[in-house]
Amino acid sequence: MNFKRLVAISRKEFIHIRRDTRSLLFSFLIPFVLLLLFGYALSLDIKNIPFSVLDYNDSAASREFVSGFSQSGYFDLKGYLNSEAELKNTIDSGKSLAVIVIPPDFEKNLKASNKVTVQTIIDGTNSNKASIALGYINAISQSYSARIFTEDKVLKEMKAPLSSEIRVWYNEKLDSRNFIIPGLIAIIMLIIASLLTSQVISREWENGTMEQLIVSPVKPIELIFGKLLPYFIIGMIDLSVIIILGKTLFKVYLRGNILLLFVLSSLFMIGALGMGITISIIAKSQVVSYQLALLTSFLPSYILSGLVFPISSMPKIIQYITYLVPAKYFIIILRGIYLKANTFFILAMDVLYLGVFALLMFIIANFRLVKKLD
């Protein structure tokens, strides 16, 4: 491998990027926009769930029960309803996600220590949101009933036999940004590494310049590395920007070692670049290679990596497929370093996988390009 040739190729590739609006957009604007979108708009936390109450009892006990919801911080009381018709209307119109129906004998039965059933109607259109709301409703009802139970004169002496004290580690406030923004690094690197680089060799074929390179003494490995170097540099610039903006805009702090983050991000980037260029070598037209890159690397990485959608809730067969998605391992690494301050040894298996992936991609790229040159 000759360094002068590599530099000549990299320099030319930089000029291509500088003169191509689309490359510039993908390199610098899109990552920034994604960061803002994911940081501000994509929140998986459910707060202020709108709910209403149809209270047939209208007693001190029922009002106290309802106030447990409004004070939890997760629910927003929209008002009291007067009839079943109003109930239907408020759910239909989307004004309330849930309605709690309190039976007429609520207070009387509680006082008599009888079993009381409170009905909850919930809008299941968004099943994810509905099941989270349901969980909250159950938790609040149970804590209410536990309180009643211990206030009971007979049982007052007895302490509750079991209580749990929950402490959340790593993401203390359970803020989804802390979870999303480190993962976003993987997506932004993929945009640069696979979507942009998928164009670099196919552009040479389309220009007819590949023929000229074939008759020159340039070696495939010089061509591959020379072309990838500028994209690697852009990826590292974007990584720095995400770390800085994540901290200043979204208060997502890097707890682990920044050097380890850069080294392992480089490893992932190299693998993804290798994949991008392999696609570019296989497909001789820019349109085809762009589509291929989108389908084989970007979309699976977005959907199957655990970035937004939890892998554990996917069907078993899809879970097995996720083992083939490099971004999955990188996202584990990113979250590990970012939130848990993981060291290299804890992440070693994921690192090994990324290393194997990168090596494999370059072997394929080099092999395929050699074949085309002959």
Partner 1 sequence: MENIIEVENLTKNFGSFTAVNSVTFSVKKGEIFGFLGPNGAGKSTTIKILCGLLIPTSGKASTFGFDVYRQSEKIKENIGYMSQKFSLYPDLTVEENINFYAGIYRVDPKIRNIRKNDLLKLLELTENRKTIAGLLPAGFKQRLALSCALIHDPPVIFLDEPTSGVDPVSRRNFWRLIKSFANSGKTIFVTTHYLDEAEYCNRISLIYDGRIIELESPYRIKKSYEERFNLKNPTLEDVFIKSIENYRAANNEF
* Binding of residue 217 to partner 1 (CB under 8 A): yes
In this structure, are residues 276 and 195 in contact, taking their beta carbons and an 8 Å threshold? yes
- Number of amino acids touching partner 1 (CB under 8 A): 26
Among 30, 101, 213, 249, binds partner 1 (CB under 8 A): 213
CA distances to 62, 107, 125, 188, 302 from 102, rounded to whole Å, are 7, 10, 23, 50, 44
* Binding of residue 1 to partner 1 (CB under 8 A): no
Q: Which residue has tokens 């990584």?
A: 239
- By C-beta, is 5 or 78 nearer to partner 1? 5
- By C-beta, is 178 or 202 nearer to partner 1? 202
Separation between Cα atoms, residue 329 and residue 322, nearest integer Å: 10
* Binding of residue 9 to partner 1 (CB under 8 A): yes
Task: Please state the closest distance from residue 32 (CB atom) to partner 1, in A.
Answer: 24
**From residue 165 to residue 204, what is the string marking binding to partner 1 with x (rule CB under 8 A)?**
----------------------------------------
32-48 residues labelled b (16+ CB within 10 A) or e (exposed): eebbeebbeeeeeebee
211-241 residues labelled b (16+ CB within 10 A) or e (exposed): eebeeeebbbbbbbbbbbbbbbebbbebbee
- By C-beta, is 15 or 318 nearer to partner 1? 15
In angstroms, the first-to-last Cα distance of the chain is 19
* Binding of residue 22 to partner 1 (CB under 8 A): no
- By C-beta, is 18 or 88 nearer to partner 1? 18
Task: Please state the closest distance from residue 206 (CB atom) to partner 1, in A.
Answer: 10
Residue 307 DSSP symbol: S
Task: Please state the closest distance from residue 45 (CB atom) to partner 1, in A.
Answer: 46
Among 1, 12, 125, 139, binds partner 1 (CB under 8 A): 12
In this structure, are residues 362 and 274 in contact, taking their beta carbons and an 8 Å threshold? yes
* Binding of residue 208 to partner 1 (CB under 8 A): yes
CA distances to 230, 334, 339, 346, 347 from 260, rounded to whole Å, are 22, 10, 13, 12, 11
User: In the numeric block, which tokens belong to residue 140?
Assistant: 């609040």
Kindly identify the residues of this chain, within the stretch 345-374, that bind partner 1 according to CB under 8 A.
373-374
Interface segment toward partner 1; rule CB under 8 A; list 105-113, 154-162, 209-217, 335-343: 209-217
Among 15, 25, 244, 324, binds partner 1 (CB under 8 A): 15
Among 1, 48, 211, 356, binds partner 1 (CB under 8 A): 211
Task: Please state the closest distance from residue 9 (CB atom) to partner 1, in A.
Answer: 7
- By C-beta, is 1 or 348 nearer to partner 1? 1
Interface segment toward partner 1; rule CB under 8 A; list 14-22, 85-93, 141-149, 181-189: 14-22
User: In the numeric block, which tokens belong to residue 340?
Assistant: 């848990």
Please state, as a whole number, how many other Cβ atoms lie within 10 Å of the Cβ of residue 190.
28
Interface segment toward partner 1; rule CB under 8 A; list 2-10, 160-168, 184-192, 360-368: 2-10
In this structure, are residues 68 and 51 in contact, taking their beta carbons and an 8 Å threshold? no
Please state, as a whole number, how many other Cβ atoms lie within 10 Å of the Cβ of residue 70.
13
Separation between Cα atoms, residue 95 and residue 121, nearest integer Å: 13
* Binding of residue 16 to partner 1 (CB under 8 A): yes
* Binding of residue 5 to partner 1 (CB under 8 A): yes
* Binding of residue 207 to partner 1 (CB under 8 A): yes
Q: Torsion angle, CA of 140/142/148/153, rounded to 10 degrees?
A: -150
| Residue numbers at the binding site for partner 1 (CB under 8 A) | 2, 4-5, 7-9, 11-12, 15-16, 19-20, 207-218, 373-374
